[in-house]
Structure 1
Amino acid sequence: MEIGPYIKLHRIQQEMTQADLAEGIVSSAYLSKIENEKTEASLNVISMLCTKLGIQLDDGTDEMIREKLQKWYDMLSTDHDMEEMTRIYQELNEVMYDNHSADSLVMFEIHKIRYFLVMGQMDRALSQINKLAEMTGTFDSLHQFYWYKFKGNYNSANNEFNQAMRMYEAAEDKLNQLDLSEDEVADLQYTIAVTHSKLRNTLEAIDYAEKAIATFRVTYNFNRCAQCHILLGISYRRIGMQDKAIKNYNLGKHLGELKQNTQVIQLTNQNLGYLYSTIGENRKAISNYEEVVKDFDVLLYERIIAATSLIKEYYNIYNYDKTKEMITKSLELLDNTNDEEKYQLFQYITHTYNYVINEEDEKFESFVIDEFIPYLKKHRDYANLVIYTNMLAKHFEGNNRYKESVKYYKLANSAYEELVSL
């Protein structure tokens, strides 16, 4: 990065306008030309601008800082202790603006996007994206690669998967210009595979997951291999290749056990439970889901998914005592959450079955019709819309309310058509 963009980055970091920095030195228009490399300023002007910013020009970043930066970058793409990650970030944030190389500073600023996403700070990630947006014209190929990748990460976290795919493809286009590690390339391929899966591009998801896993095997990155196997399991389930799906899930589980990775183990249990449920093997589904619910080391979100899945499984085999038990468990877990929107679906599922199991017909009808179905329509959750409109239709049919029953059977069929067209 040249001196103009370097000055611009420090100015933005210090929340100074061009007018603020230029005052008493040059015009704002001339400063704009310097920052955007449209003119070559004298050493005297550059010196005065740097002095006002409180920075000095330096040849590079010392070895210790480079090593710490690389360690922090690596932590952002793997499972690491959040406290340690934050500690290193804070240390770097204190020293990176003290005369380190422009390239190192830009890379640090771009990686902040990923850091804020890992920490769940979506607003700060967006703010960082907006702050860097006016710098992109000065990015080299490596900067652009991470810029596109981390913007894609932001879009993915925001459920904007089409936009995320565009960003990942832009990052992929930079690969032939760069000399990245095999793991770095495979990480992008895995990320693209996940995004294809979210977009229901199943064959593309398989293709990219296979590319990624080929590298992760060679580099002995067993945790990432396990994640690829889970993704392949999901993909093969979707195209009806259940045996291959089960094989991949079990391979993922085995690797998770080798690395003692609880999250991977229970993620495979979650997916095996769903697969067995879809093929009518309720007992096996229940066994897998129970492993997740009883594991206190698993993320709360995963335990709640498993608990609500068990409510459905026990209800479907007419074990109403266990259904009530799991409703109680689900409500207990939900009481520990503080993100209403994130857990709204599970609240709806739990309360729906609670009204059904306690034969509170009026509450069940009004709740599903007035709240649950509108929620599912809004979020285009056609899979659950099929389930709960059918459930409502059967309820009306059992009460000889055939006109209402037909209405919701039609809605269920309409939702199913939307689902298969995805």
Structure 2
Amino acid sequence: MIDIGYIIKLHRTKQNMTQEALSEGIVSLSYLSKIENQKAKANSEIIQALCNRLGIELTNIPDSNFEDKCKKWYDMLYDRFDKQEIITRYEELQNVMDKSINNQTIMFEIHKIRYYMILRDFQKALHKINELHEMADSFNSPHKYFWNKFQGNYYSFKGEHQQSLQCYKKAEKVHRSAEIEEEEIADLCYAISIQYSNLLNGLEAINYAKKAMTVFQQEYNFIRCAQCHILLGISYQRIKMNDNALENFEQAISLSKINSEEQIIQLAYLNLGRFYGLIGDLKQSIKNYLRVLDSESLEYEAKLEAITSLIQNFHQNNENTKAKEYLILAEDTLRLSEEKEYYDFYKYTTLVYTYLLNGKLKDFESILEEKFIPYLKQRKDYQYLVFYSKLLASHLEKMGKHRESMQYYKLATSSYDQLIKL
């Protein structure tokens, strides 16, 4: 059982109350510090006095339905609920939590990590992780499971895939003792599969995607099955099993259409666009990227990827007029985006082709050499390092800058070697 001292500290810091103000007339300052840091166990009278000063009630369950209300809110964080409804439910629960210490206090605090990520408030998510970190050793098994999983979610959103995978694997180790439901474990397997996919470990990505899909099939959860088929398609593509990849992408589309799940359908088309682009079928690649843009409810990142990929494909196909049309659409979309830093990749891609297609060749060289290629190196994005290093090398070669050209051909080769190792 978690020590109540940490929970008292949480309530004190939320109220911006100093240790001096809380301890005065109840315990010494040093003793309160020991209670809060789990170095001393206070008796029930002291705990009650501290709770009274904080204006909170020490109880098991504030009302008969409260635990169910908490669990329903937890479930909302996994589904496609309206954000405003999630916020409203959160505020209702927080009002109760502000006035009591109960058996949902810690689980509620842990779920705030995911809640903040849904709101795209990564700063608050990180603050909550740091706030809970010092008490993590005292978490029970269910707490540890979600604590590690949500940290994995955070690092995944931040693009730190190795760190994310480590957190997910810690959650996987504890799930049996935590008595976690099968569908929740399947969701963890799906999350692990995504990280293996991001780390270009195709075989492990396939292994975990299949584990997840086995459970989703038993539950007749066609949407989650479709998501697994997309992951399998990506993974089979990376190990050059193209027939298997194509079959999985098409299966994802079929399952998504059963529930008219537009976002998953568009994600499948997006991956089909990538698939055909990688095998050199630009016509089919363009066709699928255009299908992505047919959706009015398309998320910014999917829209930006489809647009920038169309620009690349039209340029490779010597259809520069069409490429310029989509450059305008890319610029308009980037202006509408609220998360500017999150879309740096697409910003750089758009600038590269803006300069290239409009003959601003010095700017083209500059953005690649000084900004985009260093950015890709930092991210260890070897796939795009190969592509853009070759693009720059080919341009420099045409300009007669053979020494500089060779430098970027070498970078493309070394980046490809890294891809092979992964």
Q: Structure 2-normalised TM-score?
A: 0.93
Which residue is equivalent to 2:49? 48
Which residue is equivalent to 2:370? 370
Q: What pairs with 1:40-119 in structure 2 (closer than 5 Å)?
A: 40-99=41-100, 101=102, 103-119=103-119
Q: Is the 1:25–1:45 Cα contact (8 Å) retained in structure 2?
A: yes
Partners of 1:140 and 1:327 in 2: CA distance? 52
1:337-391 per-position Cα deviation (integer Å, ceiling 9, x unaligned): 2433322222222232233333333333333333333333333322222222222
Which residue is equivalent to 2:316? 316
Partners of 2:353 and 2:136 in 1: CA distance? 51
Q: Is the 1:5–1:138 Cα contact (8 Å) retained in structure 2?
A: no
**Identity level (%):** 43
Partners of 1:141 and 1:401 in 2: CA distance? 61
Which residue is equivalent to 1:24? 25
Please tell me whether residue 402 in structure 1 is matched to residue 402 in structure 2. yes
3-state SS, counterpart of residue 291 of structure 1: helix
1:47-80 per-position Cα deviation (integer Å, ceiling 9, x unaligned): 3222112123223242322222111100111221
Which residue is equivalent to 2:411? 411
Partners of 1:156 and 1:362 in 2: CA distance? 36
1:84-122 per-position Cα deviation (integer Å, ceiling 9, x unaligned): 111101111111233352x21111111111100111111
Residue type of the alignment partner of 1:328: I
Partners of 2:396 and 2:46 in 1: CA distance? 80
Larger CA deviation: 171-180 vs 22-31: 22-31
Structure 2 gaps, min length 5? none
Partners of 1:359 and 1:43 in 2: CA distance? 76
Partners of 1:408 and 1:127 in 2: CA distance? 41
Q: Name the Cα RMSD after superposition.
A: 2.1
Q: Structure 1-normalised TM-score?
A: 0.93
Which residue is equivalent to 1:303? 303
Q: What pairs with 1:344-383 in structure 2 (closer than 5 Å)?
A: 344-383=344-383
Residue type of the alignment partner of 1:50: C
Structure 1 gaps, min length 5? none
Which residue is equivalent to 1:164? 164
Which residue is equivalent to 1:243? 243
Aligned-pair distance for 1:318? 1.7
Residue type of the alignment partner of 2:163: Q
1:245-293 per-position Cα deviation (integer Å, ceiling 9, x unaligned): 1111111112222222221111111100000011111111111100112
Q: Is the 2:386–2:412 Cα contact (8 Å) retained in structure 1?
A: yes
Q: Is the 1:69–1:92 Cα contact (8 Å) retained in structure 2?
A: yes
CA gap of 1:206–1:25, structure 2 versus 1, over 3 A, is: same
Which residue is equivalent to 1:339? 339
Q: Is the 1:116–1:125 Cα contact (8 Å) retained in structure 2?
A: yes
Q: What pairs with 1:206-285 in structure 2 (closer than 5 Å)?
A: 206-285=206-285
Residue type of the alignment partner of 1:377: K
Q: Is the 2:142–2:179 Cα contact (8 Å) retained in structure 1?
A: no
Larger CA deviation: 347-356 vs 314-323: 347-356
3-state SS, counterpart of residue 380 of structure 2: coil
CA gap of 1:409–1:3, structure 2 versus 1, over 3 A, is: closer
CA gap of 1:65–1:400, structure 2 versus 1, over 3 A, is: same
Partners of 1:41 and 1:109 in 2: CA distance? 23
1:296-342 per-position Cα deviation (integer Å, ceiling 9, x unaligned): 21012211110110111112222222222222222222222243332
3-state SS, counterpart of residue 17 of structure 2: coil
1:9-42 per-position Cα deviation (integer Å, ceiling 9, x unaligned): 4334334344332221112333344446665544
3-state SS, counterpart of residue 343 of structure 1: helix
Q: Is the 1:36–1:138 Cα contact (8 Å) retained in structure 2?
A: no
